[in-house]
Structure 1
Amino acid sequence: MTISTRLLLRPGYQVAQRFDGTARFQVGADRSLAFGPGDLVMPSPVNAHDHGYGIRTLDFGAVDDALELWIPFMRLRPRTDAYLEALVAFARLAQTGVGATMHCHNSLNINRLGDEAAAVIRAAGDVGIRLGLSCPLLDFDPWAYGGGPEKLKPFLSEEDWQDLSPSIPVYAPIKQQIAAVEAVAAANTNPMVDVQYGPIGPQWCSNAMLEAIAEASALNNRRIHMHFLESPRQRQWLDRRFPQGVVRYLDEIGFLSPRLAIAHGVQLQPAECELLAERGVQLVSNPSANLRLRSGIAPIALVAEKGPALAIGLDGSGFDDDQDLWREMRLIYLLHGGRELARRFTANQIFDAAIHIGAKVVNAPAAQDFVVIDYDALTADCLFDDIDEAEVLLTRMTSAYAKGLFVDGREIMQNGRLTTVDFEGARQQLREQARGDLPRLRRERQLAGILSAAVRRYYSRW
C-alpha cells in the first residue's frame, strides 16, 4: 500500500485528505510545517474536566470506592509545590496529544488561592497548553450531605471526633471567595488561560453562594464549571433540598446559561437534560471516573438525542489510570452506542464532543491546535488503507501513537517527546517532595480511614 500523509480536519464527517510524500499544513496564523509519510494530522482533543494530579490518587492511597467514601482519602494528597504538581500533570497530558485542559483547582484555602493559581498558570504556560482554570468555591455541608460534620458525630468515638474535628473546614465569606477569583483573573496575563468560577457542586454550596455566583457570572461574563449530580446520594440529597428540583432551582436563579459547564451528570433525568439544552449548558462526561467511583453510567444516549452539548473529560481517573483521553473517547463510544442495528452515538458526535464542545468549556478557539499521530504504526497490519480514520482512532488509538503536538502554532511535542519541559525530571522531583510528606501522611491515613467508615455508616441508613 502507498503510505500517505493524512489531514483529518473533520473526523467522523469526512475521511482524511491524502498527500503523497511530505506535505505542508498550516498550524498557526503565519506558520506551516512539513509532515511526513505515515503521519495523520488532526485537531487535538480537549480534556474538559480534570484536577491536575501530578501525584495521582492511587499513588497517595486513595483506592477507588463509592465517591463519598473515597473523598476522605483526599486528605492524603501530599503537600507539594503547586507549580511542580501542575507542571507534571499538564506535561503528562500534553504527551498524550491533548493541547487543552480544564483544571479544577483543589485548594480550599482562600488565602493561598492567588499564589497557587499563579503557579498553575505559569505551569500551563511553560508546558504550552491551553487552560481553563476553575477556582474552587464552597461554603456548605462538608463531610456529609444534609448537615455536615455534626451528622457524623454519632458514628465516631469521642476520641476520633476530637482528633478529626480540628480539620473541619472554615469557609471565608461568599464575597471574599468571589473576590479572590476575580483577583486571580485580574492577575492572569496568559491569553491561553481562562479563569472561571468553580462551585464544587450544589451539595457543597449554600443557596446564597449559588445565587452570588449566578449574579457575578452574568455581570462579568465569566464562565462557571461545576460538578453536578454525580452520585446517587447526591441525587437523593438534592431532591430533598430542592423540592422543585435542583435544575429548576438553578434556572430560577439565572445560573443556567451558555457560560455554564457541568461535569458528570450521571443522575440527570430527561426533562432536566432538555432544560439544560434549552439554556445552552454543556455537559462534560467522565465515564471512567463514574465507573471507578461507582456513581453509575450517565444517560449519554439521551443527552446525544436531547442535549445538552457534550464534552469529555478524564477527571484524573482514566480507565487505566494513565490520563489517556483517547481511551476515554473509546469507552464513551462503546458504552453508549446502543444495541440496535443503527448506532445511537456516532463517531462524529464523539469528535465534536472532544474537539469543539471541549474547546467551548475551556473558552478556547476550536480546532486551532493539532496532534500528529503515527498512523502508519497504528494501521501496520491493516489490509485495506481506506478504512474510515475516525473508526480506526476510536477502535485503536492510544497516547502511545501521539508523536507531535502544536498549540497556538507552537510545537510542544516532537517524536513523542515534549520540547518545552523535562517531564521525567519534574516527575522525579515531585515524587521526592511527596515522599518527604510521608510522616504526616501516615498519621492522616488512619484518620482518613476512620472518617470514611463513619461516612459509610451514615449513608447506609439513607
Structure 2
Amino acid sequence: MTPSAQLLLRPGHQPAERFDGAARFPVARSVLAALGPGDLVMPSPVNAHDHGYGIRTLDFGVVDEALEVWIPGMRLRPRTDAYLEALVAFARLAQTGVGATMHCHNSLNINRLGDEAAAVIRAAGEVGIRLGLSCPLLDFDPWAYGGGPEKLKPLLSEDDWQALSPSIPAYAPVAEQIAAVDAVAAENSNPMVDVQYGPVGPQWCSNALLEAIAEASAANGRRIHMHLLESPRQRLWLDRRFPQGVVHYLDEIGFLSPRLAVAHGVQLQPAECELLAERGVQLVSNPSANLRLRSGVAPISLVAEKGPALAIGLDGSGFDDDQDLWREMRLIHLLHGGRELNRRFTADRIFDAAIHIGAKVLNAPAGQDFVVIDYDALTADSLFDDIDEAEVLLTRMTSAQAKGLFLGGREIMRDGRLTTVDFDAARRELREQARADLPRLRRERQLAGSLSAAIRSYYSRW
C-alpha cells in the first residue's frame, strides 16, 4: 500500500489526517502542493531562546564548564561580520525545520548595537525566518557577582590584571541604552522581526536599569526577554542582593507581565513559579544548556502543575551541539515525565510549548508556518499504522527528517536544502573570517584561561 501524505495540525491533541488532495485544510496551497507520499506536515516549532552562534563555542576552543567559569571563553569568539555570523546561524536552524528563533544578541557595545542589529535583521530577512531580537542591556557587576572585576584582582597575576583590565566594560547611561533599543525598533521594517528589550540577567543589571525597562515596556508595549536564575551562584548572589527574593522584587517594580519571557529558571522555587504564572510570564526551558553548563535541571514538574507557560529553546548548545530542537523536545519530554504510572509532562504540552508558547515569546503568529517531515523514514519498520504521530516524533524525529519549510506560505527549504541562501558558501566564508582572527585569539587564549581560573577560585570560597 502506497503511503499517503498526512497533516498533523494539532500534535498531541489530535491524530494526523490523511491528505486526499482536497484543499479543506487551513494550510497554504503551496504547502499542500509540496507534499509527497509518506510526508507529514505540521506547524513548525519555535526556538524560543538562542544566541545566533554561526561559529559555535567548541569551534573556538571553549569546552563545557560551570556557567561562570565558561563565560570568559566568550573572549575567544572570533571577530567576524555580524551579518554573516547571523546568516549562518539562522540558516543552520532553518535547515532543521525550525523557522522562528529568539536571538539574544551578544554585543555589549551600545554604540555598535544599531549597525549590528540591522545586519542581524537583514540576515533573518534573507534566510526568511521569523525573529525575536533581544537587544542586550546591562550595567552592573561584570566578571564577578558581588563586586565585579575588583573582586578578581587579588586572584590574578599583576601581568594578567594589567592585560585584562582595559577590557572591563564601560556601560552607557540607562536612558541611552533604552533609547538605543527603541531606535533599533523604529528602524526595523521587517514585519517578521520583533525587537525586544534584553536585560541580560538581573545579576548584571542595576536596580535603576531594571526599573527603567519595566517602565518603558509598560509605556510602549515592547516585550522583554531575560535570563533568570540560571546557575546556583546566581541564586546565592541574588538572594543576598534582594532579601525579599529577586522574583518578588521584579514584581514590585512592575517587571512581571505577559510581555516578559525568562530563560532557564533552573533555580526557581515553587512560590516563584506560581507568581510568574499569576503575572502571565513565559518560561523558556533550555535543558541541554543547563546540563552542559552544570546549572542543573529546571523544576519543570512545578511548572507543569502551576507554573508559568513553558516554551523551549536551544541556547546555542543543543544536546549534540547540532542546534536540533527536535532532540531538545525529546530531552525535556524524557527528563520531566516523572516516575509515576501516568506521565506528568505529556506530548500535547511539549508541542504546545514548542509551537504556541514559543510563538508568543517571539510575539509572532502561531500555527502559520509549516515543516514537511519524511514520516515514512521514521516509520519504515512499523507494523501498525495507528501509532500516535506525536509519540513517533518525540521518540525518533531529528533534523535529518526535515524535508521542507514554509513560512507564511513562502517556501524556505525543499528536499532538505534551503531555497533562499547558499548555506555552504556562507559557512565557508564565515570560517575563513574566523581563521583570519587566529593570531589575536592565540594571544587572548592565555588571558581567558587566567580569568576563568580566577573566577573558579572566587566562587569556590562562597
| Same-fold call, TM cutoff 0.5 | yes
2 CA distance for matches of 1:17 and 1:80? Answer: 46
The answer to whether the aligner puts 1:124 opposite 2:124 as a matched pair is yes
Superposed displacement of residue 31, structure 1: 7.8
The answer to whether the aligner puts 1:426 opposite 2:440 as a matched pair is no
Q: Confirm or deny: 8 A CA contact 1:54 1:85 kept in the other structure.
A: yes
Q: What is the TM-score of this pair, normalised by structure 1?
A: 0.98
**Residue 111 of structure 1 aligns to a residue in which SS?**
helix
Structure-2 residue corresponding to 1:282: 282
AA in 1 matched with 2:156: L
AA in 2 matched with 1:384: F
Unaligned runs of 5+ in 2: none
Q: Confirm or deny: 8 A CA contact 1:286 1:314 kept in the other structure.
A: yes
Structure-1 residue corresponding to 2:442: 442
Structure-1 residue corresponding to 2:223: 223
1 CA distance for matches of 2:347 and 2:215? Answer: 38
AA in 1 matched with 2:126: D
1 CA distance for matches of 2:418 and 2:322? Answer: 17
Q: Confirm or deny: 8 A CA contact 1:261 1:361 kept in the other structure.
A: yes
2 CA distance for matches of 1:380 and 1:307? Answer: 39
Superposed displacement of residue 307, structure 1: 1.7
Residues 369-448 of structure 1 mapped to structure 2, 5 A cutoff = 369-448=369-448
Q: Confirm or deny: 8 A CA contact 1:304 1:345 kept in the other structure.
A: yes
Pick closer, same or farther for the CA change 1:65–1:291 going to 2, 3 Å.
same
Q: Confirm or deny: 8 A CA contact 1:22 1:34 kept in the other structure.
A: no
**Per-residue CA distance 1:433-455 (angstroms, 9 max, x = gap):** 00000000011111000000000
AA in 2 matched with 1:442: R
AA in 2 matched with 1:135: C
Structure-1 residue corresponding to 2:144: 144
**Residue 96 of structure 1 aligns to a residue in which SS?**
coil
AA in 1 matched with 2:348: N
Q: Confirm or deny: 8 A CA contact 2:2 2:37 kept in the other structure.
A: no
Superposed displacement of residue 26, structure 1: 4.9
2 CA distance for matches of 1:395 and 1:440? Answer: 44
Superposed displacement of residue 33, structure 1: 2.8
Residues 39-54 of structure 1 mapped to structure 2, 5 A cutoff = 39-54=39-54
2 CA distance for matches of 1:87 and 1:38? Answer: 31
Q: Confirm or deny: 8 A CA contact 2:23 2:29 kept in the other structure.
A: no
**Per-residue CA distance 1:308-333 (angstroms, 9 max, x = gap):** 00000000000000000000000000
Structure 1 segments (4+ residues) deviating >6 Å:
21-24
1 CA distance for matches of 2:216 and 2:57? Answer: 33
**Residue 442 of structure 1 aligns to a residue in which SS?**
helix
Q: What is the TM-score of this pair, normalised by structure 2?
A: 0.98
Superposed displacement of residue 183, structure 1: 0.4
2 CA distance for matches of 1:305 and 1:2? Answer: 43
Pick closer, same or farther for the CA change 1:423–1:25 going to 2, 3 Å.
farther
AA in 1 matched with 2:244: Q
AA in 2 matched with 1:443: R
AA in 1 matched with 2:11: P
**Residue 45 of structure 1 aligns to a residue in which SS?**
coil
2 CA distance for matches of 1:417 and 1:188? Answer: 28
Structure-1 residue corresponding to 2:197: 197
Q: Confirm or deny: 8 A CA contact 1:24 1:32 kept in the other structure.
A: no
Q: Confirm or deny: 8 A CA contact 2:97 2:403 kept in the other structure.
A: yes
What number of residue pairs does the alignment pair up? 462
2 CA distance for matches of 1:448 and 1:125? Answer: 35
Superposed displacement of residue 301, structure 1: 1.1
Structure-2 residue corresponding to 1:452: 452
Q: Confirm or deny: 8 A CA contact 2:31 2:406 kept in the other structure.
A: no
Structure-2 residue corresponding to 1:234: 234
Residues 239-254 of structure 1 mapped to structure 2, 5 A cutoff = 239-254=239-254
Structure-1 residue corresponding to 2:209: 209
**Residue 381 of structure 2 aligns to a residue in which SS?**
coil
Q: Confirm or deny: 8 A CA contact 1:25 1:33 kept in the other structure.
A: no
The answer to whether the aligner puts 1:175 opposite 2:184 as a matched pair is no
2 CA distance for matches of 1:310 and 1:94? Answer: 22
**Residue 363 of structure 1 aligns to a residue in which SS?**
coil
Structure-1 residue corresponding to 2:105: 105
The answer to whether the aligner puts 1:264 opposite 2:264 as a matched pair is yes
Structure-2 residue corresponding to 1:357: 357
**Residue 444 of structure 1 aligns to a residue in which SS?**
helix
Q: Confirm or deny: 8 A CA contact 1:46 1:98 kept in the other structure.
A: yes
AA in 2 matched with 1:455: I
Q: Confirm or deny: 8 A CA contact 2:48 2:362 kept in the other structure.
A: yes
AA in 1 matched with 2:70: W
**Residue 210 of structure 1 aligns to a residue in which SS?**
helix
Superposed displacement of residue 158, structure 1: 1.4
**Residue 404 of structure 2 aligns to a residue in which SS?**
strand
Structure-1 residue corresponding to 2:154: 154
**Over aligned residues, Cα RMSD in angstroms?**
1.3
The answer to whether the aligner puts 1:328 opposite 2:341 as a matched pair is no
Superposed displacement of residue 4, structure 1: 1.7
**Residue 360 of structure 1 aligns to a residue in which SS?**
helix
Structure-1 residue corresponding to 2:80: 80
Pick closer, same or farther for the CA change 1:381–1:160 going to 2, 3 Å.
same
Q: Confirm or deny: 8 A CA contact 2:30 2:410 kept in the other structure.
A: no
Q: Confirm or deny: 8 A CA contact 1:88 1:423 kept in the other structure.
A: yes
Unaligned runs of 5+ in 1: none
Superposed displacement of residue 27, structure 1: 3.8
Residues 329-344 of structure 1 mapped to structure 2, 5 A cutoff = 329-344=329-344
% identical aligned pairs: 87
AA in 2 matched with 1:103: H
2 CA distance for matches of 1:424 and 1:30? Answer: 26
AA in 1 matched with 2:47: N
